Structure 1
Amino acid sequence: MRALFPGSFDPVTQGHEDILRRAALLFDEVVVCVMSNAGKTGRVPVAERLERLRAAAVDLGNVTVDAHTGGLLVDYCGRNSIDVVVRGVRGVADLHYEVPMARMNHELAGVETFFIAADPALGHVSSTLVTTVGQQGGAP
């Protein structure tokens, strides 16, 4: 079964890498895809995010890296024969955000969503927090 792990990955974090590795153990193939998000302004160039994801997946033979810059996630799934979306969740706040999208993806195209709980050691990490710490001179 093919799965899609979508996100803005802006920047790629250890949490993203953990979810990707765990998804690769569960599915025949995982496509990790940098998606555009109209509600977010990219801080890290897409090419750099793709490079970081490729480096994270270099030893994962069943992972491919891609980018999608327009249209709905379910359209990408349809064009690429993907029936499952993988999402990492850190807690209840993430579920409140993710569940309505999962329901809509299922309603629109029959795409299921598979939630993977974040590693507790990484559950506090978000791209926004990593960026903020980095901008202030800290080492995330």
Structure 2
Amino acid sequence: MRALFPGSFDPVTPGHQDVLRRAALLFDEVVVCVMSNSNKTGRFPITERLDRLRAAATDLSNVTVDSHTGGLLVDYCRRGGIDVVIRGVRGVADLDYEMPMARMNHELAGVETFFIAADPALAHISSTLVTAMSQQDRVRE
């Protein structure tokens, strides 16, 4: 079964890498896809995010990396023959945010959502936190 792990990955975090590795063990193929959100301004160019994802997946033979701009997630799934969307969740707030989208993806295209609970050791990490820490490190230099 093919699964899609979508996200902005801006930047890729250890939590993203953990969810990707665990998903790769569960599905025949995982497409990790940088999605463009017109409501968000990215911190890193899409090409850099793709490179970082490829580096994170070098030892995962069943993982491919792609990007998608414009259109719905379910449109990408239909074109790619993908039946499952993978979402990592850190807690109840993430689940509350993800559930309406999961229901809509199912209603629109029959796409199921598979939630992977964050590793407790990584659950506090977000792309925003990683970016803030990076910027703080640059200031110290």
Q: TM-score, normalised on structure 1?
A: 0.96
- Alignment match, 1:115: 115
RMSD over equivalenced CA pairs, Å: 1.2
- Alignment match, 1:65: 65
- Alignment match, 1:128: 128
Find the aligned partners of 1:123 and 1:72 in 2 and give their Cα distance. 27
Which 5+ residue runs of structure 2 have no aligned equivalent? none
- Aligned-pair identity in percent equals 81
Q: Is 1:93 aligned to residue 98 of structure 2? A: no
Displacement of 1:70 in angstroms is: 1.0
| Dislocated runs of 4+, deviation >2 Å | 136-139
Displacement of 1:39 in angstroms is: 2.2
The alignment partner of 1:136 has SS state of: helix
Which 5+ residue runs of structure 1 have no aligned equivalent? none
Per-residue CA distance 1:68-108 (angstroms, 9 max, x = gap): 01100000000000000000000000001000000000011
- Alignment match, 1:36: 36
Amino acid at match of 2:50: L
Displacement of 1:129 in angstroms is: 1.2
Q: TM-score, normalised on structure 2?
A: 0.96
Amino acid at match of 2:94: D
